[in-house]
């Protein structure tokens, strides 16, 4: 509370409706304080009833409430409300997490990327989250070897179950198995949740899915930190809910699911609408909004399958559930005897029979167990009749005990399915248990629940006090006089033996005649003087207990009945004898039962034992706490009810923890923060001082405070001392403000005077100028009048002259034009006559030429066909003279090729013929039509020429003597017309013949198709024969070569050796055994003799030695030539010379792959990796340029002339097929890179090279990311400096200047860039490396900005912006050749930082933000930045509340889209380039001057490298 209050101070005052209101003190009158609240209300309160308000608290709250300047009830409440308004639902109080239920989906907070962010992060480093609590527990378990426990508490609807699921998810993420290992333990635990929720959850007044039992999940871990087993413990299932309901609650979900089951199940179980069953129709609530019970039924059965419950067991479970529903519909009336009972009517008898049928027990036995009791004495057995009321109680007791046993069976079944690890090293327990409850009517269940919370609160208080002690010890301050607040007296009141409430309740239950009245009177007598126990006024059997969270009044009417846990002997006997094995297994017969009497068992005592065992487990673990809070009772988002939340904070023990903290030192401030805030109280202490501790002591001594403590890193203040310091600070700041205002007013007055004087002088100068301009205008008008008169007279005279001149020209022009037109008309008539004559002569000559050309082509075709047939016969004769083996081989190969070609040809024959016929018919029709048109045009032309001649004869007398109608020409035209008609008739005849030929060809194609089908069966045999012949030929060639070598060695080369050598080369030239003619003839000594004159090894061994020499050379760093890697070029030249690309089988490529793989094993050296990346990428480029697809080799360089006739084109169409079409010769290959036909080994080697290039690229990129990772964590937050120290001494207290971490990033980039340049890595790869690296920088910086509130500040934005400027400068220096678009990858962090450093954010509209400032950022990201922003330098405000509201509306609309809700960025680790991009970045001409490896040039077997 405020010790001294001054006018203008900000305080909190208590309010009946809103709990607390903030306001400003406007007057102080002794102890009475008048406060103007922000709501507009003015109140007068006592000074002892107000709390100070921190004026400098961030508007969006703090993530850890221990950082609050004032740790009190209104401060905590306001902080939670501020964070809830911006969807920050998690807040720390020390190491306690407070979770406020948002009542809406926030998927962006719980995805896998978020779990990765919290993995390994220090507690408190990132924003509050359940993942942080789970990670802290897991890390502590692994590092310290201590079992952990996470206690999740809160009232119904606060979100305990969801928080527990999140904890389980994260622990499964950290310690789970791989997906390949099958279903893991954690998966089984998570899959059991739907089953337990179906049978243990129900709708209550406060929650639609309230857990009506406590659950403690033990996750067991092995020594490696992996989950090895688990167990689920349950506590105090609310059995009374099965029989008794209050509106508007519901019974357990499973009853409604069963009523919505498929029709066949409903018919079998004789169920119906829930409204027809007594156990369900006690309320008006049967359905839940958004929940389909039919779908839930199906999902529950699937979940039961998952946890290992068989279909037979499931059927038995739902039979028992249906039997319970039918039991509830059995009503009783008085029987024939006194105090007896029997089923009321036929409906009750029906439900009785149905229940007996479902239980598989005797109907009469069921009736007797409900309506009668058997009392066994020493002498006899007495049967006692029950009245209708007692029969109803017996029915309900049976229903409750059956449901309770069923629930326990489910839990045991789930535990057996999950499996426990008896050898587990550690465990992490997650406790999901009911919170403190206080209703209008509180019965035995609330009593047990509140006992649990009292126990847990005591454990919680001890933990909080222990944490306080640890901090005080760590800071080395005196804390011995601080008192510990305990609630042991309440626990003794409830559970102490023999005089506790539970002991008295058990005692009352032991006596048959005890009632709730006698039990209540016993309590009144026993605890009448207890300070925690009281009797309410006007109550006969109620009692009140003062709990830590407030007073709760309990009604004892049902305490005795609910505390009894014995099973009625008749019920036990009935169900034990059931024919249903499942039902009988729920009620096993105990060996200790020697009689049929019921034995008493206390639920309270059993629950107390379970609770004690739970606390013993928790005491053996390190606890972590999550307090769940429900913000409103409407279960709707964006509603925060202060009174409701405050009550939950009390019930959850949060305010109790604050009370414990306030008993010691509630205010703890680091030295630099304390100096920054209160340095104005003693400015002289800051002058020249570098010791923060000494400055803090001087400040506190000057103020005169007592009782504070100076720790090692913090100042510890007692309650109320912070308010004293703030009051004095406010006074000093007020005085300083007055001085500043006085100076400002003086400055404004002088500024106004100077402005007035300047304005006067300006007005005078303007007036003088206006007079001068008026005099000048008058003189200018006089001069203008004289000028206008002169120009007008000149214009009139010139106009008259121009009119006369134009008339004369018009007359002359008309006369000359008439003469010219007469001359032109005569010349045109003469030219037309000449043109008609020339066209007639040209037509006659052209017709003659066409006939001659046709005859010539026909003759040439016939002659060429004759020559071709003759040449074919000669070739056939020559082919028969070939050697037997070679001829057989070539013949088989040709037969295979010919059969393959024919097979392909015949398959397309029909289609080609049909297309050819259609095209030819179309062309013939078109030709006929064109000829007809030409004939018609010729006739029209002749008629027009006759008419023109007649007209010309009549109109032009000069040329009447010229004979226009030439009879000879007319006769020629008629003759040509007749010839054209003959041609048309001949074309028609040819068309008919063509159709006949087409039919003959079609029949022939069908016959050939049959032959092709037969040829397919022969191909396999021919290939087999061909392979055997190839092997024989290869063996013979090897023997011939060896013999020829020995012959050359011993006797020299005979005269016939050239021919023999040529034959060997012709027949035995293979990829792996090739030799040249020059080697045989010119250098026989070198080619076939060793220095000791012994025969050398065969060619295959020689090549192996050459490959070894190549590997030995290129495995070393042979450098670069002309900017290209020598090793890659040397390998390529050798492969090309050895014809390895064309080989069907070779080991060269395998050797190269092994060599490259072993060379890049050292992945830490970027220099080594860059060298091999350059070589591998270059070799890959050369291979890409050299290889061409199979089937294109051997194409002719000169194309044959295409036939010009119609039938020639048809013949070519029939003979061609897709596999043999000549597409033209390939482009001329360069001398350096030759194109070869690649075989399978070369293609495989190409793929392996691609894989190695991608692997080495990824290694270099990941190495750079690893180096930058540690630096980026330091670059996201600006170094913290002290304001006071900066103002006074220009440097921080006792702290060295921070190194520029951004320069470290620049150095890493420069080092890698230099390495890549020195190794001549292709620029496209360099660009991709830096582009992906900058993308990684963008992701890391941006995600840290969104997850850490201390990073989202104005000063931090300036710091990061300066670092980004250095990165931009580096990109400019590196140029686009290497940097590429790397700078554009930083767009998210650039726009976010640019937004942070804007001063007047509150003036910016939402449209300006999304369109101009931050167009790349999503609404969720902008909302996160705007709500986390705070200014630690200038106290500038964030965006306006209207902008925040607009963002919130858009987020609500997109809440169903999980992708749009994710505000964190993902790092892309894929390979961002293709091989085509790599190939296009290098040119073949760059290799013209590259030199091979020098070591190989000296080897005589690599002389080809000199070429």
Q: Is 429 a catalytic residue?
A: no
Is 156 considered catalytic here? yes
Are 272 and 259 in contact by the 8 Å Cβ rule? The answer is yes
Q: CB atoms < 10 A from the CB of 1123, how many?
A: 10
* Annotation marks residue 290 as catalytic: no
Distances (CA, A) of 310 to 253, 414, 587, 974: 21, 12, 20, 104
Instruction: Write the CA distances from 170 to 186, 424, 430, 623, 890, integer angstroms.
Output: 10, 19, 12, 17, 71
Q: Tell me how far apart the alpha carbons of residues 733 and 726 are, in angstroms, rounded to a whole number.
A: 10
CB 257 within 8 A of CB 263: no
1440 is catalytic: no
Q: Establish whether 42 is a catalytic residue.
A: no
Give DSSP secondary structure letters for 267-305.
Answer: HHHT---GGG-TTTTTSS----TT--HHHHHHHHHHHHH
Closest residue by Cα to residue 228 from 279, 310, 282, 171: 171
* Widest Cα–Cα separation across the chain: 168
Candidates 161, 442, 661, 1461; catalytic one: 161
CB-side neighbour CA atoms (13 Å) of 1326: 27
Compute the radius of gyration of the chain from its Cα atoms.
52
Task: For residue 793, give both structure tokens.
Answer: 């007279």
Sheet holding 32-37, edge to edge: 42-46, 32-37, 19-29, 10-15, 50-52
> For the chain, how many helices (H) and strands (E)?
47, 28
Residue with token string 């333990």: 185
Indicate which residue of 191, 296, 437, 445 is catalytic. 437
How far apart are alpha carbons 1214 and 1000 in whole angstroms?
13
Distances (CA, A) of 708 to 348, 482, 719: 77, 13, 10
- Residue of 193, 207, 1246, 1461 marked active site: 207
Give the whole-angstrom CA distance, residue 260 versus residue 265.
9
* Among 1370, 1227, 1259, 1268, residue whose Cα is nearest residue 1310: 1370
Instruction: Reply yes or no on whether 157 is catalytic.
Output: yes
Active site residue 210: yes
Give me the catalytic one of 91, 101, 211, 1319. Answer: 211
How far apart (Å, rounded) are the C-alpha atoms in residues 1123 and 1482?
Answer: 12
Could you give phi then psi for residue 307, rounded to 5 degrees?
A: -85, 5
CB 14 within 8 A of CB 46: no
* 8 Å CB contact between 943 and 1042: no
Find out whether 346 and 333 touch, Cβ atoms under 8 Å: no
Strand partners, 1403: none
User: What distances in angstroms separate CA 811 from CA 802, 815, 817, 821, one per listed residue?
Assistant: 15, 7, 10, 16
From the candidates 200, 435, 604, 1284, give the one annotated as an active-site residue: 435
What is d(CA 1324, CA 1345) in angstroms, rounded to the nearest whole number?
31
Options 156, 442, 1166, 1186, the catalytic residue = 156
Q: What is 1232-1247 written as a DSSP string?
A: SS--EE--HHHHHHHH
Of residues 154, 157, 159, 429, which has the active-site annotation?
Answer: 157
Q: In this structure, are residues 640 and 85 in contact, taking their beta carbons and an 8 Å threshold?
A: yes
- Residue 746 a catalytic site member: no
In the block, residue with structure tokens 């414990």: 660
DSSP H/E element including 432: strand 426-432
Give the sheet arrangement for strand 667-670, strand by strand.
Answer: 667-670, 714-717, 709-710
Q: Tell me how far apart the alpha carbons of residues 1117 and 1128 are, in angstroms, rounded to a whole number.
A: 11
State residue 1295 phi and psi, 5-degree precision: -120, 135
For residue 1398, what is the DSSP state?
A: -
User: Which residue is catalytic, options 193, 210, 452, 661?
Assistant: 210
Task: List active site positions.
Answer: 156-157, 161, 207, 210-211, 435, 437
């Amino acid at each position: 509370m405020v010790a001294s209050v001054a006018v203008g101070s900000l305080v909190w005052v208590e309010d009946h409706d809103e709990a607390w209101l903030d306001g400003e003190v406007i007057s102080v009158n002794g102890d009475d304080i008048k406060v103007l609240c922000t709501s507009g209300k003015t109140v007068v309160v006592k000074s002892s009833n107000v709390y100070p308000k921190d004026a400098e608290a961030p508007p969006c709250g703090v993530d850890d409430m221990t950082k609050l300047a004032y740790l009190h009830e209104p401060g905590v409440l306001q902080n939670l409300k501020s964070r809830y308004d911006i969807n920050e639902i998690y807040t720390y109080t020390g190491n306690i997490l407070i979770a406020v239920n948002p009542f809406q989906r926030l998927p962006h907070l719980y995805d896998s990327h978020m779990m990765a962010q919290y993995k390994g992060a220090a507690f408190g480093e990132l924003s509050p989250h359940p993942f942080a609590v789970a990670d802290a527990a897991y890390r502590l378990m692994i590092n310290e070897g201590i079992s952990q426990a996470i206690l999740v508490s809160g009232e119904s609807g606060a979100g305990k179950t969801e928080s527990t699921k999140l904890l389980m998810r994260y622990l499964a993420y950290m310690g789970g198995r791989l997906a390949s290992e099958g279903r893991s333990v954690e998966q089984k635990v998570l899959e059991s949740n739907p089953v337990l929720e179906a049978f243990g959850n129900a709708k209550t007044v406060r929650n639609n899915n309230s857990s009506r039992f406590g659950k403690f999940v033990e996750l067991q871990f092995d020594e490696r930190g992996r989950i090895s087993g688990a167990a689920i413990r349950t506590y105090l299932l609310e059995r009374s809910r099965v029989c008794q309901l209050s509106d508007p609650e519901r019974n357990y979900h499973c009853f409604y699911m069963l009523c919505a089951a498929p029709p066949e199940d409903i018919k079998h179980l004789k169920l119906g609408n829930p409204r027809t069953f007594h156990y369900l129709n006690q309320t008006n609530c049967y359905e839940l909004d958004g929940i389909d019970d039919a779908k839930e039924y199906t999902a529950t059965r699937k979940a039961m399958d998952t946890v290992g419950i068989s279909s037979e067991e499931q059927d038995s479970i739902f039979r028992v559930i249906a039997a319970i529903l039918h039991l509830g519909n059995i009503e009783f009336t008085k029987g024939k005897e006194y105090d007896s009972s029997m089923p009321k009517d036929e409906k009750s008898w029906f439900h009785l029979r149905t229940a007996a049928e479902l239980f598989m027990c005797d109907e009469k036995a069921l009736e007797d167990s409900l309506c009668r009791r058997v009392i066994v004495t020493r002498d006899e057995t007495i049967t006692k009749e029950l009245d209708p009321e007692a029969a109803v109680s017996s029915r309900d007791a049976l229903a409750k005990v059956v449901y309770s046993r069923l629930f326990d069976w489910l839990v045991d079944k789930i535990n057996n399915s999950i499996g426990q690890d008896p050898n587990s090293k550690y465990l992490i327990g997650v406790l999901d248990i009911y919170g403190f409850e206080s209703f209008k009517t509180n019965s035995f269940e609330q009593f047990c629940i509140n006992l649990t919370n009292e126990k847990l609160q005591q454990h919680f208080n001890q933990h909080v006090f222990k944490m306080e002690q640890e901090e005080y010890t760590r800071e080395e301050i005196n804390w011995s006089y601080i008192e510990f607040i305990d609630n042991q007296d309440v626990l003794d009141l409830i559970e102490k033996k023999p005089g506790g409430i539970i002991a008295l309740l058990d005692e009352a239950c032991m006596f048959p005649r005890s009632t709730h009245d006698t039990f209540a009177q016993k309590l009144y007598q026993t605890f009448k003087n207890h300070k925690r126990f009281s009797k309410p006024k006007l109550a006969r059997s109620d009692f009140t207990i003062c709990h830590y969270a407030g007073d709760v009044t309990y009604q004892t009417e049902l305490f005795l009945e609910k505390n009894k846990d014995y099973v009625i002997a008749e019920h036990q006997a009935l169900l034990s004898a059931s024919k249903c094995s499942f039902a009988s297994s729920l009620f096993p017969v105990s060996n200790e039962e020697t009689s049929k009497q019921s034995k008493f068992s206390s639920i309270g005592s059993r629950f107390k034992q379970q609770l004690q065992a739970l606390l013993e487990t928790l005491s053996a673990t390190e606890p972590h706490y999550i307090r769940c809070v429900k913000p409103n009772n409407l279960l709707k988002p964006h509603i925060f009810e202060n009174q409701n939340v405050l009550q939950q904070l009390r019930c959850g023990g949060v305010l109790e923890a604050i009370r414990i903290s306030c008993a010691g030192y509630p205010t703890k401030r680091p030295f630099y923060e304390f100096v920054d805030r209160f340095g104005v109280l003693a400015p002289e202490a800051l002058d020249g001082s570098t010791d923060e501790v000494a400055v803090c002591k001087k400040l506190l001594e000057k103020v005169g405070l007592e009782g504070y403590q100076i720790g090692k890193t913090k100042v510890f203040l007692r309650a109320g001392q912070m308010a004293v310091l703030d009051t004095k600070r406010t006074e000093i700041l007020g005085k300083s403000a007055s001085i500043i205002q006085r100076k400002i007013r003086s400055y404004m007055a002088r500024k106004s005077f100077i402005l007035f004087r300047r304005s006067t002088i300006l007005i005078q100068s303007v007036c003088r100028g206006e007079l001068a301009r008026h005099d000048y205008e008058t003189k200018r008008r006089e001069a203008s009048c004289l000028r206008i008169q002169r120009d007008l007279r000149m214009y009139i005279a010139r106009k008259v002259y121009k009119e006369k001149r134009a008339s004369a020209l018009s007359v002359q022009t008309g006369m000359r034009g008439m003469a010219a037109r007469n001359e032109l008309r005569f010349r045109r008539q003469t030219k037309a006559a000449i043109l008609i004559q020339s066209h007639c002569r040209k037509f006659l000559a052209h017709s003659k030429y066409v006939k001659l050309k046709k005859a010539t082509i026909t003759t040439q075709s016939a002659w060429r066909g004759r020559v071709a047939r003759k040449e074919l016969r000669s070739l056939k004769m020559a082919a028969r003279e070939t050697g037997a083996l070679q001829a057989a081989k070539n013949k088989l190969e040709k037969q295979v090729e010919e059969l393959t070609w024919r097979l392909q040809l015949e398959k397309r024959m029909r289609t080609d013929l049909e297309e050819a016929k259609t095209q030819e018919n179309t062309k013939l029709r078109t030709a006929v039509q064109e000829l007809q048109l030409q004939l018609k045009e010729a006739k029209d032309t002749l008629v027009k020429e006759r008419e023109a001649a007649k007209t010309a004869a009549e109109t032009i007398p000069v040329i009447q003597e010229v004979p226009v109608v030439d009879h000879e020409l007319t006769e020629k035209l008629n003759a040509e017309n007749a010839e054209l008609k003959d041609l048309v008739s001949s074309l028609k005849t040819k068309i008919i013949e063509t159709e006949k030929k087409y039919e003959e060809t079609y029949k022939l194609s069908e016959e050939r198709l049959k032959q092709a089908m037969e040829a397919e069966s022969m191909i396999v045999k021919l290939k087999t024969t061909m392979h055997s012949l190839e092997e024989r030929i290869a063996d013979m060639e090897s023997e011939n070569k060896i013999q020829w070598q020995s012959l050359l060695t011993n006797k020299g080369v005979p005269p016939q050796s050239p021919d023999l050598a040529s034959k060997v080369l012709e027949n035995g030239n293979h990829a792996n055994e090739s030799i040249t003619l020059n080697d045989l003839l010119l250098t026989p000594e070198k080619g076939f003799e060793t220095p000791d004159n012994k025969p050398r090894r065969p060619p295959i061994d020689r090549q192996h030695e050459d490959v070894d020499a190549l590997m030995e050379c290129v495995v070393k760093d042979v450098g670069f030539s002309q900017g290209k890697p020598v090793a890659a070029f040397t390998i390529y030249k050798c492969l090309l010379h050895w014809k390895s690309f064309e080989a069907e089988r070779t080991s060269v490529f395998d050797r190269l792959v092994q060599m490259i793989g072993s060379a890049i094993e050292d992945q830490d050296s970027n220099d080594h990796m860059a060298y091999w990346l350059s070589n591998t990428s270059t070799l890959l480029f050369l291979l890409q340029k050299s290889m061409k697809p199979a089937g294109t080799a051997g194409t002719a360089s000169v194309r044959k002339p295409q036939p010009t006739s119609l039938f020639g084109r048809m013949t070519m169409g029939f003979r061609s097929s897709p596999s043999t079409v000549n597409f033209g010769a390939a482009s001329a290959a360069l001398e350096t890179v030759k194109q070869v036909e690649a075989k399978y080994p070369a293609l495989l080697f190409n793929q392996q090279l691609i894989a190695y290039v991608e692997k080495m690229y990824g290694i270099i990129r990941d190495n750079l990311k690893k180096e930058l990772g540690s630096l980026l964590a330091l670059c996201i937050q600006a170094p913290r400096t002290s304001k006071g120290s900066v103002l006074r001494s220009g440097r921080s207290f006792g702290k060295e200047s921070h190194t520029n971490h951004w320069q470290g990033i620049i150095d890493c980039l420069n080092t890698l860039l230099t390495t890549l340049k020195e190794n001549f890595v292709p620029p496209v790869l360099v660009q991709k490396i830096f582009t992906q690296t900058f993308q990684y920088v963008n992701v890391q910086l941006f995600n840290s900005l969104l997850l850490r509130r201390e990073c989202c500040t104005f000063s931090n934005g300036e710091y990061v912006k300066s670092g980004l400027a250095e990165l931009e400068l580096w990109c400019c220096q590196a140029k686009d050749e290497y940097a590429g678009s790397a700078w554009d990858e930083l767009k998210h962090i650039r726009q976010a930082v640019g937004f942070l450093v804007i001063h007047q954010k509150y003036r910016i509209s939402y449209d300006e933000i999304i369109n101009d400032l931050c167009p790349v950022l999503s609404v969720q990201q902008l909302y996160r930045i705007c709500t986390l922003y705070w200014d630690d330098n200038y106290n500038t405000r964030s965006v306006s509340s209207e902008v925040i509201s607009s963002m919130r509306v858009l987020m609500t609309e997109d809440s169903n889209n999980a992708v749009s809700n994710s505000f964190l960025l993902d790092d892309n680790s894929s390979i961002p380039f293709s091989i085509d991009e790599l190939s296009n970045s290098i040119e073949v001409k760059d290799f013209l001057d590259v030199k091979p490896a020098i070591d190989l040039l000296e080897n005589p077997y690599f002389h080809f490298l000199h070429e």
